[in-house]
Structure 1
Amino acid sequence: MNLEQLAEKELRKDEEEQRILSGESSASALTPLAGGPPLDLNHPFYDVARHGIVQVAGDDNYGRKLVIFSCCRMPPSHQLNHRKLLEYLKYTLDKYVESDYILVYFHFGLRSSNKPSLSWLQNAYKEFDRKYKKNLKALYVVHPTNFIRVLWNIFKPLIRYDEKLRASQKGGPPRPTRTPPPRPPLPQQQFGVSLQYLQDKGNGDLIPLVMRETVLFLKQKALKTEGLFRRSANIQVIKEIQKQYNLGKPIKFEEYGDENIPAVILKTFLRELPQPLLTSQIYDQVQSIGTVESSLRVTRCKQIIQSLPEHNYIIVKYLICFLHMVSQESIFNKMNPSNLACVFGVNLIWPTKGPATLHALPPINMFTELLIEYYSQVFSARILPNEVLP
C-alpha cells in the first residue's frame, strides 16, 4: 500500500469516527460551511475566497496576526481549484509575513470528497519558502487525527531537509540560545519597568506617561470608534513608538492617522509591566469570583479592589473609569463591558508562573467586566487625596 492509499484509508476512518461522534449523515458531512464573501465579485480570487477557507482572525496578545485555515469550509474537490486556493493563501499571507504571525489549521471537516492530493500538498509545502517561514511563530493543528500522522511521515524528509539547509546557511548547527544578562533600564524607559520606577522618574506623577497620553487621546478622538481595542495596528509602528517612548521623545498620535495605534500601545504597556496592575496578591481572589453568589459579586469585587496598594488602586481606578466611558458609547463602538473585559482582563492580572490558562480566563473576564460595568459602586468607598481621573 503506497502513502496515498494509506492516507486515504486513514482519512476514511477519521470520517467514520466523526460521523459516529456527531451523528451526522453522509449528505450533511459533505456540506461546507458558508463563509461571507471577503472580496469584490470581480476580484480574481473571489471564487475561492467566498468559501471562507482562509480567514484573518485578528491579533493574539502579542500583536501577531492569526491566520486561520478551516478544512470544514472546503467544498468538494471538483468545485474548488486547489492551485488557486494555494495562490489565494499566499496572497493572504503576503500581507502579513513581514511581521510575526500565527497560522492555525482546523483539520476537522477534511474528507475524501474535499481533500487535495498529496502531491498538491507536497508542492504547496515546497512553495512556502523562507519568506513565509521566517516570521511564522507558531503553527497550531486543531483536531489532529491519524491522517495528520501519515502526513507527518510524508513531510518529515522535507522538514528535516529544511532544517539542515537553514543550519548550513547559518554556518553550522543551531546553537542553544542563552538568556542575555538583564540591562539597566534607560533613564526615560516606559515599557517593561515597574510602576515605582515610572513614578520615581516621572517627578512623582502617579499615572504613567504612556497611560495618560493614550487615554487622553482616545477619550478625545476615539470613544465612538467601532471595534476600539479589538483591532490591530502595524506591529512595526508599535515597536517604533515604544522605542521613542523609551528614549524620552514626545509622541503625537494625531500624526499616525490611526486611532487603533494608541489603543494597542495602551494594551502593550499593561502587558509588559513586570508585575500585573491588579497585583499577583489578589489573583486567587479573582479566580474565586465565580463561586460568589451573583447578587454579592459587586460587593466582593469592591472588597478585593480596596485591598490593592494605594498606587495600584489609583491607576486601576483611572483606567477603569476610562473603560467605563468607552462602554457607555457601546452603541457606536460595539465595546460593551463584556467585550472590553475580554480584551483587558488578561492584561490586568495573570498568574505568577506562565500565562493564564483557558480555565482561568472566565473568572478574570468576569471580574474585569464587573469593575467596568459597576465602576461607581466598586470605587466609591476609597477616596485618596492624590487621585487623578481621565
Structure 2
Amino acid sequence: MDSINSTFGIGRLIAKHLTNALNAAEEQQLDAWIKADEKHAAIFNRIVVHETLAAALIEMQQINTELALANVKSRLGQQPEQQPAAQTAKLWKRYIGAAAAVAAIAFGIWFFTAPRHLDDRRDNYSNDIAPGSNRATLTMANGNTIHLSQKKSGVIVGDALTYDDGSEILRDALDDKQDNNGSSSRGNEGPITAITPRGGTYSIILQDGTKVWLNADSKLEFLSNYRNKLQRIVKLTGEGYFEVAKDRRRPFIVESNGQQTTVLGTHFNISAYKGEGVKTTLLEGSVHVASLFAAPKAKRATAGPEAGRILKPGQQAVLTASNSITVQTVNVEEAVAWKAGDFEFNDEKMSVIMKKLERWYDVDIVVNEQIADREFTGKISRSRNISRVLDMIEKTTGIKFKIEGRRVIAPDQ
C-alpha cells in the first residue's frame, strides 16, 4: 500500500508540474525523484510529452485535487477520506477528467517501476559509445599548436598560458616570436585559435577576463594583442557561451557566420554551426545583433541599431538565410543546457537532435526523412553513453536505433 501512496504522490507532483503549480519544496521533491533512477527520468519524459494529458491536467488548477485522488484510490481498494455528499456531487463533473489524468500518471509510474520491471535493462545495442570530454587544441600566434589536457576543463590566456587550476602550460604565451634561447619580441599581432573537435568541449579565459565555453566542433579566433585593441573582436564557428568582462570604452564583438554581435559586458550564447543558421540567446544584459551583409563593409564594425536588433534577456535572435534577423522569446535554460552538461529538447525535430548527438559523440547518424521530421521532448545528462540517450528516445517515440561501429542508424520503422 505504501508503494501505491508513493506512486500517487509522484503522480500528483507531475500533474502539478504540467500546470506550473509546484511550490519550491515540491519542485525539489520531484527533481530528486527524477534524478534517483534513470527509469524515473524516462517515465517523466514519456509522460510530459503527451499533450492530451497536459490539457486534461489544466483542470487541476481549479478543483479539489485531494477529492479527485480519493475517488481514484477508492477504485484501487484504498479507503478515501470522507467528504460531504453534496460537495462530492457538485465537484464530480469537474474533477473526473483530472482524476483520470492523475490516475494515468500514477499508473504509468507504477507500471514502469513495478518489481517485474526492476531487472537491469537489456542492452539493445551490440556496441556503445562514450560521451565527449574535455578536448581542445590551442594554436598560438607563432604557429605552435598545443594539445590541451583532457584532465583539465579550461585554459587562461595571459602573459603566461595556464590551466584554470593555475598549473602552467607556457611562459610568455603572447610572444609572437621566440628564438632558440627563449628570448622574444613583442608587438607583432597574430591570431590565436582555440578548437574543440567533435566529442570535445573546453573553456577559455581571454586576456581581458572574458570567459568563453566552447561546445563540440567549435572554433574561436582572437588576436594575441586583443586586449590592446579599441574593439575586442573574436570570431566564432560552432557554439560558444560568453561571459564578457565589462569595459564601456571597448565594445566586445563576436563575428559568426555572417553575423556581428556587439556588447559591453553580458552573458549570452551563440550557436553558429555551418549550414544551421546563427542563433544568439541573451541571458543577462543587452546585446546588439546585426548581419554583416546588411551594412556596407566599411561600417560593419560600428553598425548602428538600424542595421540589426537589440536583445533583452530571455530573447533569441535568429539570422535567416536572407540575412534578416528575427527575434523571439525562448527558454534560455534549454539554449544553454549543453553548458550545464545536459541535453534538453523541447518539441525539437529529430534531425536537429541527431546533429547534436553527432557532434558530442563523434558519430555519424543516419535516419530517413520520415523520422527526421518527428519531434521529441526530453532531458538527459550529456555524461551518459549514447545508448542511454537513444534508449530514452526509443521509449518515448518508439524509434529503434542500432549502433554499428561509429555509425548510428534507424532502420525503416
Bigger RCO (CA 8 Å, 6+ sep): 1
- Greater share of residues in helix: 1
Fold-level similarity (TM above 0.5): no
Normalised to the residue count of structure 1, the TM-score between the two structures is 0.23
Q: Higher strand fraction: Structure 1 or Structure 2? A: 2
Structure of larger gyration radius = 2
TM-score, normalisation: structure 2: 0.22
